[in-house]
Chain A
Amino acid sequence: MSVGQVLLAATPALPAVGAAVVALLPAAADRGARVVGTIFAAVTFLASLLLYADRHAPSGSPVPGSAPSGPVRPWHELDLAWVPGLDLRFHLGVDGLSYPLVVLTALLTLLCCGYTLWHVPGTPREGFAASGAGRGRTLVALLLVVEVGILGTFLALDLVLFFVFFEIVLLPMYAVIAGWGGTAEPAEADPEPGRTPGPAPADARRSTPQQAAARKFALYTLFGSVLLLVGVLTVVTAAGTADIVALTGGAGLGRGTQLTAFTLLALAFAVKSPLWPLHSWLPDAHTQAPTVGSVILAGVLLKMGTYGLIRVAVGVAPEGARWAAPVLGVLAVAAIVVGSLVCLAQDELKRLIAYSSVGHMGFVLLGIATLTATGIQAALIGNIAHGVITGLLFFLAGAVKDRTHTGALAELGGLRETAPRLAGLLGFAAVASLGLPGLAGFWGEAFAVVAALERGGAFWTVLGVLAATGGALTAAYLLRLLRRVTHGRPAPRVARLTPELAGAELAAWSPLVLLALAIGLVPALVLGIAGEPVRSLLEALP
């Protein structure tokens, strides 16, 4: 095995091993377990970074079938037999499409694990002491398992393997939302803020809001992934292979198969992305999820949908993609406009950011729907930018909620008077999110609109104009958010705050701030490596 192949195998294997080690540590060693988990996340991040090195060495493509002229040209490739009876091979590869997402996943998981060193969400209530010990350990183990699934999805070059990794994410994320979600303390629903949190009342019999949100997330996304299963197997049985490298370009698939497959796959990825009108699981999940869960969910989990759309749906069934592109474009623009309008009326901080994700992912999907080089490049950089900025926004929203125990915009206000640093960072993230030129959010949104206009014709021009209008609305609601949260006189809950930020918070946030700046100033960081795979992908389309 070459160095690249070792790294390729190590990238998803390290967090898997880490999760097992962390889970087996005794509950008493909670802090130690969190440290071990963070170390594993850090090593994974290093391994994912190193994938960039040595990428043009001839040892990178040892498989004779993958001639460098193909539509998918992985830098490194690892191809092992696993279940021949199901055409399932353990086939991993990394190229310019997946590399930025892989690094982003590893980075965000590392930041989240580091964040749990300082703060484990949902301090245990009295009355079930058993739930207190080992909570942080279990959370870190679950985050690492989620990382395995996401990394595997981005790295898989086998359709069935892609599906397997896609499914791995589901239940750990369910557990994170259900087990660590909700408000950290019952203060929100509590009329007297001074009361000590007592034993859980009789509502322990019924399912809590976070359980309901988690179940909605699990069932909705499973609905998507079973369609993915049928779509993937439709392709596999028709083509007789599950190799994404061989299948990209739609070789050997009839038009009928491609249309069926694309419909199923696009539906599956639309649930995950999420595309309006299949987005309704997202706001609930985000509102209830703990900070680290929201960061992973918005930062990289949604990208599995958009990445899958580019790599699998468009790659494998291009004729289907051409056929469905107008529908996809209309839905994407509807997502932008509807998401922005809903955001204008939102009164809850995390819910607002969650709905803003619907709008931002709408831009990404619009870029993909144009099926042009500009559009897909815009989608890729939009993916990364949204991951960085929304990750940061959720970290900040979590910090605000942890301090004030409320997310209601009406009860916030005047943040800059008592916590100027937090308010400043929130302002930065919001401005980045609304797409100010020079920050990361700009490129994806601007070029999605440009791609739609480039595509020409009345239809795409109208879509481009509408999307641009949606972009203006985005600015409106984010500025409204800032006005309500940071400006004005301090609300009672805000007045008690102190300006300090914990070192752990700064450590978790500063990489994201720097990345938002760096990608905004030098978009070539992402576009440079994505250019060539996008070109070859589009060349392969009929």
Chain B
Amino acid sequence: MNGGVQAVDNVALLPAYLAAGTAVLVLLADLVVARRGVTLAVAAAGAVATVVGAVLVGRGGPRGTFCAAAGCSYHWTGRAALVAALFGLLTLGVLALSAPLLRTGDVPPGEYCFLLACSMTGGVVLGAANDLITLVVALETLTLPLYVLVGLRRRSRSGAEAAVTFFVVSVVATSLTLLGAALLYAVTGAVHLDALGTALAGESALAHTPLATAAVALVLLGLAFKVAAVPFHAWAPATYDGAPLPVAAYLSTASKLGGVVALLAVVSAALPAEVTGPVLALLAVLTMTVGNLVALRQERMVRLLAWSSVAQAGYVIAPLGALAVAGGRTPEAVAAALAATVAYTVFYVVLELAAFGAVVVLRPAGADGGAIDRYRGLGRRHRFTGAALVLALVGLAGLPPGLAGLFAKVTVVRALLEGASTWLAVVVALNAVVGLAYYVRVAALLYAPSPTEPAAGIRPAWPAVAALGAVSVVALVVGFAPQLVLDVAAR
């Protein structure tokens, strides 16, 4: 800040520029060239450039811009780089999985890729957001294009219904968060996360006023919608099932990642742990238990994955539940909880993308997930795709050979035990048993004898197959070398 004119650190903003530029370029390419392949290629190249930019800027150490006396609104750290890179990679993966859908002509490719790129922009900024307003704006930039994407299919009633459900619920959630943020501003006069953290720190009288407590709860509950945590989860199964498969994949990975990042930002820096801890512990227990139990009864593939992703959200926020007890609020325990949340999220998005990728490849182009029974015996005919789906499902269940999922569970349980929350660790562990029941049902069905001869083989689009292969390899690699993930998560 010199002479009233703010210096803008354009290097710190480079990843955001790249992501936004991708959106613009995609639109231009669609206008000028108007060929599906080119549009997709431009979007994919933009996503790759965003990843590279995010990593390069992240290596240079933390940078901030848009600074005021209270702090910087935009803070590019190692974790922001990780989040941005993840968003870029997820967008890339979802673009590849969208190839069969775009080929059917049910969806306009230019608009589709543009909206995905817009959503990615929101995600990239979200990782760096350091005040409540930037945070909410970034989160909405991430979510807004998704309303349209969910309902973008022509002649699809279920898509429109899903979009409306998603829109209404999400808008309510956002207004809750905004109300909470406004109340917090009224109590403390601050919007920057660090300033809020100082104002609400343990010994200050402000933290214990009923208004502050209500505001904190409102912010948390609004964000709980985004991660589809119980009791704000009901939109997820309906929306996932009505959306095109790749969009459902994006919703259950990138959109959920966005919610987790936002939660982490407010919990780690801004809000008092005495209030957030019990709320999050309760949310985690409810989310994983309800998600797992309802998933047991699902008959449709995407709904099963949706309920399982609800349960997974419970595991994601479980480490933060350790903040509920005093033993979990020591600096080491808090650091372990935050790192475990990030690590679990990374493992989860990899496995979830692999699961959706395998479903996309196994199904006809543009089809929805279908009934689980339609997958009977598919693993025998599609050896590698079936194996990839089993690897992903078993990983989500947290068992070998899905070592990535196993280590994810180990990380969470360990963080909880370090935070002196043995009871929550036992709840997580027992939920894993319930989870196995439905994951293994699907996995076994893939190899069950099928009484009918299969329909003629489907030739899946090569980008989708390549994406599935790549994400499966990533799942295997982080399974054998989980330290890679733990290292970036601890930063």
Hey, which bits of chain A sit against chain B, CB under 8 A?
Answer: 82-86, 125, 127-128, 130-131, 149, 160, 163-164, 167-168, 170-171, 174-175, 178-179, 199-200, 204-205, 211, 214-215, 218-219, 222-223, 226-227, 229-230, 233-234, 236-237, 260
Contact = CB atoms under 8 A, between A and B. Distances in A.
Contacts of B381: 130
A128 B429 CA distance: 38
23 contacts: A84-B483, A85-B490, A86-B410, A128-B377, A128-B450, A130-B380, A163-B410, A168-B400, A171-B401, A171-B440, A204-B451, A205-B373, A215-B440, A218-B436, A219-B436, A222-B432, A223-B433, A226-B429, A226-B432, A230-B417, A230-B429, A233-B410, A233-B413
Given A171-B401, A230-B425, A236-B414, 12 more contacts: A82-B483, A83-B486, A86-B482, A128-B377, A131-B380, A164-B400, A168-B400, A178-B444, A226-B432, A230-B426, A230-B429, A234-B417
A86 B449 contact: no
B433 A222 contact: yes
* Residue with the highest number of chain B CB atoms closer than 10 Å, among A83, A170, A179, A204: A83
B409 interface: yes
B422 interface: yes
Contacts of A167: 399-400, 406
B135 interface: no
B473 interface: no
Given A86-B411, A219-B437, A131 B449 contact: yes
Contacts of A204: 448-451
Interface residues of B, number: 41
B375 interface: no
Nearest to B419: A237
- Nearest 7 CB-CB pairs, A to B? A226-B429, A85-B486, A128-B449, A168-B400, A237-B417, A130-B380, A204-B451
A85 B411 CA distance: 9
Given A160-B410, A218-B436, A230-B426, A128 B451 contact: yes
Contacts of A168: 400-401
Contact of A223 (B409, B413, B418, B430): B430
Contacts of A205: 373
B314 to A, nearest CB: 15
Interface string B405-446: 011011101100110001001100110110011001100100
A260 B373 CA distance: 43
A226 B394 contact: no
A234 B483 contact: no
A229 B244 CA distance: 38
B203 interface: no
A376 B24 CA distance: 73
A142 to B, nearest CB: 11
B447 interface: yes
Contact of B440 (A86, A174, A237): A174
A282 to B, nearest CB: 18
B449 A127 contact: yes
Contacts of A174: 440, 444
Interface string B150-190: 00000000000000000000000000000000000000000
* Residue with the highest number of chain B CB atoms closer than 10 Å, among A85, A171, A223: A85
Contacts of B399: 167, 170-171, 222
Contacts of A175: 444, 447
Contacts of A128: 377, 449-451
A127 B380 CA distance: 14
Nearest to A238: B417
A164 B406 CA distance: 8
Nearest to A128: B449
Contact of A86 (B414, B425, B441, B448): B414
A54 B211 CA distance: 73
B81 to A, nearest CB: 19
Contacts of B406: 164, 167
A219 B441 CA distance: 12
* Residue with the highest number of chain B CB atoms closer than 10 Å, among A175, A205, A226: A226
A205 B445 CA distance: 10
